[in-house]
Structure 1
Amino acid sequence: MATPAEHTHHIRLRSTQMEMPANGGSQNQDDYDHKLKAAQIELDRIQQEREELERKKQELEELTGRKRDFISQQVELSEKLSNSLTLIDREIFEIRQECDDLEQCRICFAAHLEKIQKINPENWTRDNLHDKLERATMVVDIATDEYDQAAAHFQKGRSGAIFGAPSKRSRQAAKTSGDSDFAMHFRNGLAFNLPIIILGGIALLAYLTK
């Protein structure tokens, strides 16, 4: 029996199909290195952002603390200035009142001094001695009373040293009439009965010059 003929098929493969690329491993390594570098860059960026956020956070906390301190200082200083302004206004008001009182007192004292200096006892005669002495004594007594009243009024003020200590009589008069009433009339230009004094002085001068 004849043996069947054997057929052999030869498969021809191209050399390019069987050969692995020589640079394949190098390319993969480059890709890995590139990705690693990109990841590192991203991590660095995130770290920088975190540090920037932390810096801004600390800066904000510092500014918030400074703002809190400023508000506290602002409130404290505002209270001090407000209280000081109130006291200053009160002090200015009292000083102005005292100045007004002193001005009225000066006018009154000047009028008294003028009348007293015009009294000349050397010109009195025996016939008119009694009358002129009575009138002159009245002028001096009125001036003395008003001087003592002024001393009592200004005793506790800044101008107390001008008048010295008031006499016992003036202190008793001040207790009876009250400082407030005196000051009120004083500021209104009616202290010490100035109109009566002026009229009385004019009449007295007219009498003395006869």
Structure 2
Amino acid sequence: MPPATEHTHHIRIRNTQLEMDPDRTGTPRDDVDGQLLVAQTQLEQLQAQREELERLKQETEQLNHRKRGLISSQVEMTERLSSSTTLIEREIFEMRQEIEDLEQCRTCFAGHLSKIEKLNPEGWSREQLPDQLDRALAIVEHAEDEYSQAAEHFSRTRSASIFSGVRRAKGPKSEFTQQLTRGLAFNLPIISLGSIALLVYILK
């Protein structure tokens, strides 16, 4: 039996197959660097967002603080202005009322003044004296009464100083004084003649 023939097969391995692919060997490190870069970018974005949120928070707190201050000032000024407006309106009303009263008082006093200035006791005759005295004294008494009433009315107002020289009404004594004045005026001629006669009698 013939001996078996040995066959030798040569396996050719290409050098390129034994060398590592540079692209494949670089992929893991590049992936890590890329992920780190992405993570760093995301972190920076988150940091920027956090800072923006913090800024917005502070801005909102400042706006709310200003708004609370505005509301507080609004309430305070509303109360002060409302109270002052009411007091001013009341003061204006009282001033207008006082002005109207003063105008009426001025008209009344002007009328009394005109009547009193027209009185001329020196020009009354003996026959006119009693009636003229009655009329004149009534005019003066009426003026004095209304002057006293006006002074009392304005005594609690800013116009009180106008009537600082007022004389109060005399009451019951006024009538007595009036009668005494009338009696003296009526009897004055007789008293004068009697005094002259007495003086002549003494000198004789």
Of structures 1 and 2, the one scoring higher in RCO (CA 8 A, sep 6+) is 1
Tell me how far 1:58 sits from its aligned partner. 1.1
The runs of 5 or more residues in structure 1 that have no matched partner are 173-210
Range that drifts further, 113-122 or 7-16: 7-16
The aligned runs of 1:30-49 (5 Å cut-off) are 30-49=30-49
Structure 1 residue 22, shift from structure 2 partner: 3.8
Rg comparison, structure with higher value? 2
Structure 2 partner of 1:138: 138
Whole-angstrom CA distance in 1 between matches of 2:2 and 2:72: 121
Provide the secondary structure at the position in 2 that maps to 1:10.
coil
> 2:77: which partner in 1?
77
C-alpha distance in 1, partners of 2:22/2:69? Answer: 72
Identify the residue that residue 101 of structure 1 maps to in structure 2. 101
User: What is the CA-CA distance between 1:33 and the residue it aligns to?
Assistant: 1.7
- Alpha-carbon contact 1:155-1:166 (below 8 Å) kept: no
1:164 and 2:153 aligned: no
| Partner SS for 2:20 | coil
User: 1:8 corresponds to which residue?
Assistant: 8
1:19 aligns with 2:27: no
TM-score by length of 1: 0.76
Task: Give, in whole Å, the separation in 2 of the partners of 1:130 and 1:101.
Answer: 36
Letter in 2 for 1:48: A
What residue number does 1:180 align with? Answer: none
Q: Is the CA contact (8 Å cut-off) linking 1:151 and 1:165 kept in structure 2?
A: no
Specify the SS of the correspondent of 1:112: helix
RMSD: 1.9
Q: Is the 8 A contact 1:152 1:166 kept in 2?
A: no
Displacement of 1:87 in angstroms is 0.3
TM-score by length of 2: 0.78
> Do the aligned partners of 2:151 and 2:163 also contact (CA within 8 Å) in 1?
yes
One-letter amino acid matched to 2:96: R
Take 1:101 and 1:34, find their aligned partners in 2: how far apart are those partners? Answer: 98
Unaligned regions of 5+ residues in structure 2, if any?
172-204
Aligned to 1:137, the other structure's residue is in SS state helix
- What SS class does the counterpart of residue 65 from structure 1 fall into? helix
1:166 Cα offset (Å): 5.3
Q: Answer yes or no: is the 8 Å Cα contact 2:116–2:139 preserved in 1.
A: yes
Contact 2:144-2:169 within 8 A present in 1 as well: no
* Cα distance between partner residues in 1 of 2:135 and 2:52: 99
